[in-house]
């Protein structure tokens, strides 16, 4: 459960760590998708219907089994950052103190608004996340994650993006989440949305207990592209026939891998990049939300607002 930070350690090869993180995420995603498939087969008799009817895009091609879709999570599928919704739930359950909540909120706010990875902020957030989950059982966090999804995430899914994912599923294709959030959290969300599975940051565990270390690095930026590449090779996919969806310019490496890249609720840099390359664009925000491109919903979360403000003020005093 250690995907709050996105800092590449300074003394290791970024490329090597990205590949390691990507391959670990792909392996975990394939395992989780098999479990999800078994669960769906058992629950087939009680399948539910959803009252959503977004316009179906021109793509995908029905019956193309060598194609798949890869969706970023934060601000693409869900409003705000999954890890901070999860953090709210852990804070409510007294997993950590308000001071740590403020540190997480500040690191996320800086990264999203400034668009850069400040080494001190990212290292601090990652170390804090690892310390919180260290010693906890994976099964414990998975169980809590199910509750937190219902409390904070279920009502934040973008119907439009959900419709795009469903179009791929209806065409007989697999649909994967690709996110820097912990693979366990991402897998819960994928299951709830009826998707194939999830690629996420893999935290090391021994005998079902978190060690406080990561496998490789957080699944962010280039590591996402490595994860998609590894999964495509394992699944026999043709990336030229696949689609990828994201809101962030940090995911340009992943979007550039596929033949059908989509910019969803894009930040300023991704919007420009997408227009320059004639990529498809969808914006499901309206009014003020759409105007504030690049400012995350996570930064305004009620439970985090106080912590964020305190952290920003503290940062300004120090600088």
Q: Give residues with Cβ within 8 angstroms of 158, minimum separation 6.
A: 76, 77, 78, 79, 264, 265, 284
- Give the model's pLDDT for residue 63: 83
- Higher-pLDDT residue of 176, 46: 176
pLDDT of 77 > 60? The answer is yes
pLDDT class of 305 with cuts at 50, 70, 90: very low
pLDDT of 297 > 60? The answer is no
The pTM for the full model equals 0.71
- Give the model's pLDDT for residue 72: 96
- Give the model's pLDDT for residue 60: 83
Rounded to an integer, the average pLDDT of 200-206 is 90
Rounded to an integer, the average pLDDT of 25-49 is 72
Q: Does 118 participate in catalysis according to the annotation?
A: no
- Give the model's pLDDT for residue 42: 72
* pLDDT averaged over every residue in the chain: 77
pLDDT digits (tens, 9 = 90+) for 249-280: 999 999 999 999 999 999 999 999 999 999 99
Rounded to an integer, the average pLDDT of 211-234 is 91
pLDDT class of 25 with cuts at 50, 70, 90: confident
pLDDT digits (tens, 9 = 90+) for 225-238: 999 999 999 999 99
Closest CA to 289 of 152, 158, 179: 158
φ, ψ of residue 212 in degrees (nearest 5): 90, 15
pLDDT class of 57 with cuts at 50, 70, 90: very low
Catalytic residue among 74, 247, 251, 267: 74
Rounded to an integer, the average pLDDT of 122-147 is 78
- Higher-pLDDT residue of 126, 212: 212
- Give the model's pLDDT for residue 97: 67
CB 296 within 8 A of CB 74: yes
Catalytic residue among 72, 247, 251, 267: 72
Question: What is the rounded CA–CA span in Å between residue 129 and residue 7?
Answer: 13
φ, ψ of residue 23 in degrees (nearest 5): -65, -40
pLDDT of 239 > 80? The answer is yes
Question: What is the rounded CA–CA span in Å between residue 186 and residue 236?
Answer: 23
């Amino acid at each position: 459960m250690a995907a709050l930070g996105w800092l590449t350690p300074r003394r290791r090869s970024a490329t090597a760590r990205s590949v390691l993180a990507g391959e670990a995420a792909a392996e975990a995603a394939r395992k989780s998708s098999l479990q999800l498939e078994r669960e769906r087969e058992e629950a087939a008799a009680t399948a539910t219907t959803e009252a959503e009817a977004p316009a179906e895009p021109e793509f995908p091609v029905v019956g193309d089994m060598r194609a798949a879709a890869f969706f970023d999570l934060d601000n693409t599928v869900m409003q705000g950052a999954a890890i901070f919704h999860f953090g709210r739930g852990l804070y409510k359950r007294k997993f950590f103190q308000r001071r740590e909540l403020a540190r997480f909120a500040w690191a996320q706010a800086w990264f999203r608004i400034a668009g850069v990875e400040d080494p001190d902020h990212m290292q601090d957030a990652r170390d804090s996340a690892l310390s919180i989950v260290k010693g906890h059982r994976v099964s414990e966090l998975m169980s809590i994650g199910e509750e937190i999804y219902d409390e904070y995430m279920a009502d934040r899914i973008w119907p439009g993006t959900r419709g795009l994912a469903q179009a791929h599923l209806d065409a007989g294709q697999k649909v994967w989440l690709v996110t820097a959030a912990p693979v366990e959290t991402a897998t819960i969300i994928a299951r709830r949305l009826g998707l194939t599975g999830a690629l996420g940051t893999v935290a090391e565990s021994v005998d079902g207990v978190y060690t406080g270390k990561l496998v490789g690095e957080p699944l962010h930026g280039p590591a996402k592209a490595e994860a998609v590449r590894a999964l495509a090779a394992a699944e026999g996919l043709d990336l030229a026939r696949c689609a990828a969806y994201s809101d962030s310019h940090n995911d340009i490496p992943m979007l550039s891998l596929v033949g059908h890249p989509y910019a969803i609720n894009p930040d300023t840099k991704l919007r420009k990049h997408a227009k320059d390359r004639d990529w498809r664009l969808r914006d499901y925000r309206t009014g003020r939300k759409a105007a504030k491109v690049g400012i995350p919903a996570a930064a305004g979360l009620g439970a985090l607002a106080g912590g964020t403000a305190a952290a920003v003020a503290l940062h300004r005093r120090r600088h």
